[in-house]
Amino acid sequence: INISIFPPSNACIGRYILNMQITSCGHTYQRCLGDFYVLFNPWCADDPVYMDNQAHREEYVLNEHGILYEGVYKHITSRPWHFGQFEDGILDICLKILDMGASYHHGSDRDHCWRNDPVHVSMVVNHMISSHTSNSITKIPENNDYLKGTKPFSWNGSVPILQQWYNGGCRPVRYGYCGSLASVMCTVMRCLGIPSRVVTNFCFPCSIENSLSVSEIFDNTGKNLCGKDKLWRYHCWNESWMARRDLNQCCGDWQCLDPTPLEKGRGNSCSGPTWVRSIREGELDLDYDGHHMFSRVNSSYVGWLSQNDAKKTKFSCDPWPCGQRLITKSVGSEQFEDITRAYKYELGSMKNKEAYYRAYRRIHPGFCNASNSHIERELSSLKNPFLSDSGINMRLKMANCPMYGEDVQLHWLLENLRGENKTLKFNLCAQIITYSGSPMDQFWKESVTVMLGPREVKRIPLCISYSLYGPYLCDHNIMKVVAISDPECGEVLMVSRDIVINRPPVIVKLLSQPRLKVPCTAEISFCNPLQEDMKNCVMTLEGCGLFKEPMTIDLGTLASNQQARTIVEFTPYRLGSHRLLANLGCHKF
């Protein structure tokens, strides 16, 4: 007997058991024919996750290969990620996540009625990724301390994280970061049939006191001090495609979901789903956490100089707006797609201003009846003065693209905009900054006096040697270089530059074409570029359809300029597009 099952589009997702009742000769008995799974269906026009573009369905539902974008807005880096939503056992793990998170929002899961609504399903998954419950999937290290777990940046894919959580009695996996959290959520959502993608936002504000501004505090040497606010260099979250019945949407659209728990003034919590279009329009009353998501792409930057008498003053600078660039992997391509205009209109445009005023009135009730000009005056009073207002233009320009082991070369460009001589004393410094904006060690300081003639443009070369920054960089491959004028010379001028130090590449070369159930070999090579030994070198390999479990290779110690080559053999166990991912860790990173 061939049995076809046509579940309705509003059926609850999950695992079902199919029984057949047979009556024969006056006797009735049941036979279990097996079980089957019901998932959301983006190919069905009646389903709330319906997506009408086949290329988009292939990218956002079927593609197991992803790319995470990191770095800073002027130097975007990328690394591959294995979502693995079709690996053995992942679907059962995803349903287990729904079981464990069922009490969130609902108290009881006896009727499973919420499981046909992608909004509630996404909220449960979002909550389960990294909430502070004992059953969350991952934990984020406190104070960048991850000695009791796995380095957050060493993961290559979602599958080992989900398997470790499931096999470990549903205890949190130590540790993750925003990129791995958003990627794990993307895996779960795609596995359940909800189109999803990972988005990276550069210059991401995390402010507790003022939801539309973020502050950074510096001392007179240029050192970034640890304050309440943090300006993340980048932050990853998830977007999922669905029609929001709670918002009376008849067609699907992107909804923003952030599984990273952030401080909001009422404790740590995750955000979303938030309709992306409502963020752009400033319609914050429509949605969950709308004002938080709006502030994350529209906050203003305020820089302060803290002096010895505990007095804080604003300095002159040319700050970039927060949320200045949002990107995601392009459909069917290895390149990124800039989706900034989906979140905000062009900066300075009339639509951008109207959306901002609309949001400002909702976030600050005291301005609910204020005119646009009143709000504009309030905003202007909070901003830092521009460098050009003081008659000076400055910027730091990279002269090279440094890799581990190489010196950092910069050009400090200064221009006198006035017809008179200027003599200024500057303090320069360099400091390690984590991706989440936490200031670390200050490893370089210098003072210099600059004399500029009328309308003169001067270029000053700067060099920061590897011997200075190498001992401090560790896993945090971002440094901040600052030039700030001495307060005794009058108004304070500041220019800064975030610099990414590229990690040395790991070369992966397939020596034969992968074929199903046929042994295949690959060559993994790496060269130590440092003028010192690299200790405790460990290579982690993961391959979609190639390895059922990650492979770890202990390389020991690599001498300076030593080339390490490793041949690995594997047998592809399923059809599909294959990609071998390699990640090298050592005492340096």
Q: DSSP of 385-414, one letter per residue?
A: PPGGGGTEEEEEEESS--BTTSPEEEEEEE
Q: Which CATH number fits domain 506-585: 2.40.37.10, 2.60.40.10, 2.70.70.10, 3.10.20.90?
A: 2.60.40.10
> What number of CA atoms fall less than 13 Å from residue 78's CA on the CB side?
14
Domain boundaries, the chain: 54-344, 392-500, 506-585
Active-site annotation holder among 47, 117, 229, 258: 258
Question: pTM for the whole thing?
Answer: 0.94
Closest CA to 254 of 274, 236, 237: 274
DSSP for 506-548, please give it.
Answer: -EEEESS--BTTB-EEEEEEEE--SSSPEEEEEEEEEETTT-S
Active-site annotation holder among 94, 178, 256, 544: 178
Q: What is the largest CA-CA distance in the chain?
A: 110
Catalytic-residue membership of 178: yes
Active-site annotation holder among 235, 291, 292, 578: 235
Q: Are 11 and 116 in contact (CB under 8 A)?
A: yes
Scanning the structure block, which residue is given the tokens 């008659």? 391
Catalytic-residue membership of 94: no
C-alpha Rg value of the chain to the nearest Å: 27
Q: How far apart are CA 538 and CA 528, in angstroms?
A: 13
pLDDT digits (tens, 9 = 90+) for 309-322: 678 899 999 887 79
Digitized pLDDT (tens) for each residue of the chain, 589 residues in all: 788 889 999 999 999 999 989 898 889 989 898 899 999 999 999 999 999 999 999 999 999 999 999 999 999 999 999 999 999 999 999 999 999 988 775 555 555 788 999 999 999 999 999 876 788 999 988 877 777 889 899 999 999 999 999 999 999 999 999 999 999 999 999 999 999 999 999 999 988 777 789 999 999 999 999 888 999 999 999 999 999 988 888 899 999 999 998 765 444 567 889 999 999 999 987 767 888 899 999 999 999 999 876 788 999 998 877 988 999 999 999 999 999 999 999 999 999 999 999 999 999 989 999 999 999 999 999 899 999 999 999 999 999 999 999 999 999 999 999 999 999 999 999 999 999 999 999 999 999 999 999 999 999 999 999 999 999 987 779 999 999 999 887 889 999 999 999 998 999 998 988 889 999 999 999 999 988 899 989 999 988 888 888 889 998 999 998 988 999 999 998 887 778 899 888 877 7
Write out the CATH class of domain 54-344: alpha beta
In the prediction, which pLDDT does 544 show? 80
Residue type, position 480, single letter: K
In the prediction, which pLDDT does 107 show? 53
Residue 494 Cα distances to 163, 210, 318, angstroms = 48, 23, 8
3-state secondary structure 407-447: CEEEEEEEEECCCCCEEEEEEEEEEEECCCCCEEEEEEEEE
Q: How far apart are CA 71 and CA 81, in angstroms?
A: 16
- Chain centroid to CA 414: 34
H/E element, 582: strand 580-585
Catalytic-residue membership of 258: yes
Which sign does the torsion angle of CA 381, 387, 388, 389 carry? positive
Same fold flag, 392-500 and 506-585: yes
Residue type, position 304, single letter: W
In the prediction, which pLDDT does 113 show? 82
Q: Is residue 175 reached through a cis peptide bond, with omega within 30 degrees of 0 on the bond before it?
A: yes
Topology of the domain covering 392-500: Immunoglobulin-like (2.60.40)
